[in-house]
Structure 1
């Protein structure tokens, strides 16, 4: 309510300001100045009236959020399933209708642009059209001519963009990293100075974090030191693979800063700096990247760049807080971008298949083609489902912890997209290997989302470790007992009895998830419940077997992360399909079929991976892999002799 009152106050003050400016204009009965001067005043009056009309037509958006919930995926590791998540999030009817109205001109623009004009370039005439369509700073305040969208609405806008232009990579990096960091963590002065330029599209921004040639992947070389005047910082270093690096006017730079800890030891932490291009001593060199055509990717070098202390974003040594606040939405954007790529892939693949014959039979009638098309359809449906579910969680709940959910969204969407395109290229054959073939172009675009900023291997480690950390705090007494069985003999015998069904891979289904879904989803809901209980079992095994050393068991962590990923995607698909069936959407019965098909595939993967975790490294191939790798590193080459080598 306070936000609504303050917003109304701002509106009224802005309107009064416009009226005051108009009243200042003197009314003269005869001309005493040149015609040019009169024309200039008329233009100024026209602009003021236009601004007055714009502010008067602003509709106040009141968004209320529910209290924060416990983290969903983290709780799965202890066997707790929040059934509210199965109620798939949706927009209010009025918001949905307004969103469609705002999307119409954007859709019309991209429909009118011919295929020959693609790929677009973010710093060409295309950028001017994006400004006119107000596609920069989608979540910016309406007073600054932004659209003031929430995460779900922003996803829908980016959904349209990603289906039409590969330059969406630059847009998403611009909008969801620097802009969001300013919006969430910037001071009032920083917002006033930079947000209007970013929302209008007159200035572009770049996020500078990654570096090349690091001897330690956890330590950056770019550093910042306080100046002699104590009023500025001096930044030195080079950032690599910066999207918008050459065309950006504002850089968000992550640099090491030194501080003395409580023990008197010097340490370094990351600090976020807002660096303007006009500060000088900033040079950039383009990178020859694969894919994302029309997107500028550069290396940016900072050589004794002086940055005012007022341009520190957040707290000194507090970049971690900023990253944790902006990365969830950025990871979700990968899901949206991949959905667009998959949609284009399906459209082109269907067109190819319907116009291709094998003998006298259209290839659409063959089992292999149907299986490929079905797999791609499943991937697209699951990617959409998990992306909008995660966006809905951020919108519905106050300060919701979606670190794991957003990481799963990014990992799943990028892997599924690349795998789907590879299947399509294999189906089409040699033609898809050509550089200008639509399938090859889509493959290169998908690689950009797979590789830039965060790698999926690191994200999988994060997914597993965050889940284990959460579980460790909840079940530490149980883990202590299992790791010290001789001190708790009676409890251990009791546990052996209660866990006998889990050991036999037949857990008792006690979550009753079918009660919260459409009755036709009873079979896949039991599959989901089985997977949740098996994930809990695998979590307890890893913590009990390895204790603190589990952080170094990367192969096991990867398996655990992939189990959590499949369970979260199953939840998203079932929730979406159940909602569609209940409200009577077109093709709802086939949505249920899609969700069931995904669950059938996923439950087999979870069953296999949990069995590997249960069996341990000696029963699996893990130890053999470690021995082979050590041998390779020992010789620093491929060690087996050539197959034609003789020994006598």
Structure 2
């Protein structure tokens, strides 16, 4: 059977209520219009272009310690073993009605292939999204937004994100630029701008990156000089999303007299598009082509003093806070598309024969599809787990959780697409199936707010800093063992017990999840004990100078990310099994597969740290890097060269 026909016609009918568009744009699926026509008139009435109205749940918010930071000191919040429930049955029904509205809108109007080819999102689509209120998903209602919870927003984003260029444009508008005004703007600024931004009448762009500084905000060269009328803004910003159609620019600049490259004295200004001296040049990209990206140059632009956001010189702190929500929203939607792709590729496998038998009977193909399913399951679990923590925690400290989810979901989106393309074969490289476009877009999403290695360093070093603040005396002792012989002897015994798996489980994670999950839960707690040893080893070797290292903090971050995702998976499957959801027996196996694979990755990272760089491959690689730098690249002689 022709691969294209399978992709165009065999997506499962059982999910139409959840994903009505069936990736019409992403996979060229045209049958959705026929599906939509089959809906009853009563159902069609639900999907008018009226603004989405959802009742906000009255969730009791608890004071909780930061989950991921506490992992670095071997503390585990067992209360989160019970997956937090945010939406009631009635509220979930309201959300699903909104999902149907967006489904049919995408089925009728969104063609991702055309958006990619023309590099333009039609104005009619943007207008429909404005009418639905989707430019202000989490903006309070008093400013004209929908005021959604993180959980409800994530559910809607599964469908809103079926076109990744369109989703990236809206998300950059709301969760970067608009979020800065919402969190730090004065009440006067909020009243002036937020209603216009929430309604989509004005589009905002976030201007922080520069060609020479990249995402290193401390190295920017844009300046804002004091003048009698306010500030004179000069500089060039690169990779500005929504640059061409933005009405407002949120600009980061160093104030007059603060040109030190390491200075943190950065401020944030609101600059209106009609100000004199603004020049926008579009950038050509290979990914997210429908998302308008450009270079914005400010040539002595006059900015009123009332357009400063927040406190002067606090721009760096404000940037870090805004990036938390943006990382969450930009990386908690792709699993919706991946589930649909898995459906269609599975249909392709069932109807494709090789060597006289169906591909569905080939063990390697079956295993590959199962592994993909387990990864999508983990991505979905950690997204809703993180959303639930945000919704149920008072003033949550979730910076590391957001960074961890960004790394895990973005990289595993690429993994799933790569594996699905491998299953489909060479046809996946044709534009007809759109898989190559999705892979290009996934690369763009992974790099959108900086490289994943930077996010890993942030996680690892922040975790080490937290350990230093919580266990300063312990760190002092294991860095100066000679002066604390008794404590050193006790520590030797403790380490031996942990390495021999004889240490007592203090958290009893297995006792807080379903009994069927005893093995993965005990493995998780055992690895947490070894993780604590690894953290101590790193701090013992480097102390305060750990901030100057990168390899070991990165490995700590990799392990911490796996711990966090496993925690989400165990909490979800425990809830599913206890309340008797459909297919929970197989879901249990799926969760166990992921936890097993994740455990192997954790063991590898921790072993590398505990044996030390002198014994693993990192030490020689670091030494050899000097030769690569000195010779400016590849240095071995060609294998055909003679020495005589």
The bucket for the TM-score relative to the shorter chain is 0.7 to 0.9
Residue number in structure 1 paired with 2:43: none
Which stretch of structure 1 is more off in the superposition, 250-259 or 392-401? 250-259
Q: How many residue pairs end up in the alignment? A: 591
Q: Tell me, in whole angstroms, the C-alpha distance in 2 between the residues paired with 1:495 and 1:509.
A: 17
Greater displacement, 578-587 / 217-226? 217-226
The structure-2 alpha-carbon separation of the partners of 1:106 and 1:506, relative to structure 1 and needing over 3 Å to count, comes to same
- Pick the aligned partner of 1:520 from 512, 516, 524: 516
- 1:149 — aligned with what? 148
Q: Does 1:211 align with 2:210?
A: yes
In 2, are the aligned partners of 1:479 and 1:544 still within 8 Å (CA)? yes
Other-structure match for 2:255? 257
Does the 8 A contact of 1:334 with 1:414 survive in 2? no
Between the aligned partners of 1:160 and 1:605, the Cα distance in structure 2 is 32
Partner of 1:566: 562
2:352 corresponds to which residue?
Answer: 356
When residues 477 and 469 of structure 1 are mapped into structure 2, their CA distance, relative to the original with a 3 A threshold, is same
Partners of 2:136 and 2:144 within 8 A in 1 = no
Which position in structure 1 is the counterpart of 2:364? 368
Pair member with larger Rg: 1
Say if 2:197 is the partner of 1:201: no
Alpha-carbon distance between aligned partners in 2 of 1:58 and 1:595, rounded to the nearest angstrom: 35
Matches within 5 A, 1:591-610: 591-610=587-606
CA, structure 1 residues 143+213, in 2 after alignment: closer, same or farther (shift >3 Å)?
Answer: closer
d(CA) in 2 for partners of 1:380, 1:248? 34
Residue 194 of structure 1: how far off its partner (Å): 0.8
* More divergent stretch after superposition (109-118 vs 157-166): 109-118
CA distance in 1 between partners of 2:167 and 2:110 (Å): 17
Give the distance between the partners of 2:312 and 2:222, measured in 1 at CA. 13
Q: Flag structure 1 segments of 5+ consecutive residues without an equivalent.
A: 1-53
SS at structure 2 position matched to 1:336: coil
Report what 2:175 is aligned to.
Answer: 176
Partner SS state of residue 647, structure 1: coil
Residue 504 and residue 226 in structure 1: after superposition, are their counterparts in 2 closer, same or farther (change >3 A)? same
Query: Which of 83, 93, 107 pairs up with 2:103?
Result: 107
Contact 2:559-2:602 at 8 Å conserved across structures = yes
Residue 349 of structure 1 deviates from its aligned partner by 1.6
**Farther off after superposition, 61-70 or 613-622:** 61-70
Q: Aligned pair in 2 of structure 1 residues 195, 459: CA closer, same or farther (>3 Å)?
A: same
Q: CA deviation at 1:452?
A: 1.4
**Cα deviation code 1:159-182 (max 9, x no counterpart):** 111124531111111111112222
Secondary structure of 1:227's partner?
strand
For 1:65 and 1:187, locate their aligned partners in 2 and report how far apart those are by CA, in whole Å. 28
The CA deviation at 1:66 is 2.1
Q: CA deviation at 1:143?
A: 4.4
What corresponds to 1:413 in structure 2? 409
- After TM superposition, the score normalised by the length of structure 2 is 0.87
1:223–1:236 CA contact under 8 A, matched in 2: yes
CA contact (8 A) 1:411 1:459 kept: yes
Structure 2 counterpart of 1:536, from 523, 532, 538: 532
Distance in 1 separating the partners of 2:369 and 2:328? 25
Equivalent residue number for residue 74 of structure 2: 79
Residue 22 of structure 1: aligned partner: none
Q: Given the two structures, how large is their TM-score scaled by the length of structure 1?
A: 0.86
Q: Which moved more, 1:333-342 or 1:411-420?
A: 333-342
Among residues 604, 623, 626, which one is paired with 1:627 in the alignment? 623
Displacement, 1:424? 2.1
Deviations 1:90-124 (A, max 9, x none): 22314323322333322222233475875384452
Please report the RMSD computed on the Cα atoms of aligned residues, expressed in angstroms: 2.5
- 1:137 and 1:198 in contact (8 A); partners too: yes
Cα distance, 1:398 vs structure 2: 1.6
Name the structure 2 match of 1:454: 450
Aligned residue among 238, 244, 247 for 2:245: 247
1:640–1:218 CA distance, 2 compared to 1 (3 A): farther
Higher mean alpha-carbon deviation, 375-384 vs 350-359, is at 350-359
Does 2:276 correspond to 1:277?
no
The 5 A counterparts of 1:338-357 are: 338-357=334-353
Q: Which runs of 5+ in 2 are unaligned?
A: 1-49
Cα 1:545–1:384, aligned 2, differ >3 Å: closer, same or farther? same
Q: Distance in 2 between matches of 1:378 and 1:546?
A: 37
Distance 2:73 2:333 in 1: 32
Q: 1:150 to 1:59 in 2, by over 3 A?
A: closer
Given the superposition, is the C-alpha separation of residues 567 and 449 from structure 1 closer, same or farther in structure 2, using an over 3 Å criterion? Answer: same
CA distance in 2, matches of 1:59, 1:499: 53
Tell me, in whole angstroms, the C-alpha distance in 1 between the residues paired with 2:396 and 2:554: 25
> Please, which of 462, 466, 486 is the counterpart of residue 466 of structure 1?
462
Q: Residue 640 of structure 1: CA displacement?
A: 1.4
Per-residue deviation, 1:85: 1.4
